[in-house]
Amino acid sequence: MNTARLITHTPSPGAWNMAVDEALLQSAAVTGTITLRVYGWSEPTLSLGYFQPYRDREYHAPSRPCVVVRRATGGGAIVHDHEVTYSLTAPTDGRLKRRLDDWYRLVHETWIRTLAELGIAAHRCLQTDPQKEQQFLCFHRRSAGDLLLGSAKIGGSAQRRHAQAVLQHGSLILKRSVAAPELAGIAELSGRDLSDRAWLDGWVSSLGQALNVCWQSGELTDEETRRAEELERTKFGHLRWTQRR
């Protein structure tokens, strides 16, 4: 069983969150460290997918007041508010003994098992709906493997792959946001309020078993922090990146 690092961060600004995820991706390529990071957002934030035009955000009125960042991963826009967000970074040297495509399934299946223990019957989407692929918001789209509660999408993930490492990050909607009122969360769909997050330990343990890793709590290294600060300043916090399309 491999040892992997678990980082739990308090809610932070969007540009910093994206910078840390990319710094961890770069670190995994160099050091071979496997890291699961669980984090939140200090204010409602709209993250655009890598390929989305910036101007498209004007078509979604409820999220116009939100701070905007651009992710390094593809997919639709996400309103980050009342949710759990994670990132998983690892080298592509085979130590996880899983195909990269399996990561989506593993993470979402551990969400399903954890929610089932709370009496919430989530399930995976079986096939992509091509008619919804151009929807602005990610949670209006339907791709095979997405996490559903009834017919509503409550969880999704995206990957960015390098030659030596991979980043997967994703979100689980806990309850409705005023910045995306059309999207129900677990609270509205099941009547269960998971905002205390006490259930997260069970999910982290389940994911560790699925990946065959033993989590050890840790923090960013000095080099990762320095790199994240640089990426926040020069990339994710800069209009040149956010408005690049």
Q: Which pLDDT band holds residue 98 (cuts at 50, 70, 90)?
A: low
Q: Which of 187, 153, 197, 188 is nearest to 171 (CA)?
A: 153
| Cβ contact 41:12 at 8 Å | yes
pLDDT at residue 101 greater than cutoff 80: no
Q: Return the amino acid letter for 141.
A: R
Range with lowest mean pLDDT among 28-42, 68-82, 107-121, 123-137: 123-137
Q: Return the amino acid letter for 131.
A: Q
Angle CA(120)–CA(123)–CA(129) in degrees, nearest 5? 140
Query: What pLDDT is recorded for position 196?
Result: 87
Beta-bridge mates of residue 39:
85
Query: What pLDDT is recorded for position 197?
Result: 83
The yes-or-no answer on residue 125 being catalytic is no
Q: In whole angstroms, what is the distance from residue 170 CA to residue 67 CA?
A: 19
176, HSE (Cβ side, Cα atoms, 13 Å):
12
Query: What pLDDT is recorded for position 162?
Result: 86
- Side by side, the strands of the sheet bearing 78-80 are 67-70, 45-48, 78-80
Q: In whole angstroms, what is the distance from residue 99 CA to residue 50 CA?
A: 23
Q: What is the pLDDT of residues 60-92, one digit of tens each?
A: 999 999 999 999 999 999 999 999 999 999 998
User: 77: Cβ–Cβ under 8 A, 6 or more apart, which residues?
Assistant: 46, 47, 48, 49, 52, 56, 57, 60, 63, 136, 137, 138
Q: Which domain holds residue 35?
A: 2-242
Q: Which of 66, 125, 138, 214 is catalytic?
A: 138
Mean pLDDT of 215-240: 98
| Cβ contact 68:15 at 8 Å | no
Q: What is the pLDDT of residues 12-68, one digit of tens each?
A: 999 999 999 999 999 999 999 999 999 999 999 999 999 999 999 999 999 999 999
Query: What pLDDT is recorded for position 236?
Result: 98
Query: What pLDDT is recorded for position 138?
Result: 97
Other beta carbons less than 10 A from residue 169's beta carbon: 25
Q: What is the CATH number of the domain that holds 108?
A: 3.30.930.10
Under DSSP, the state recorded for 137 is: B
| Number of compact structural domains in the chain | 1
Q: Which pLDDT band holds residue 97 (cuts at 50, 70, 90)?
A: low
Mean pLDDT of 155-164: 93
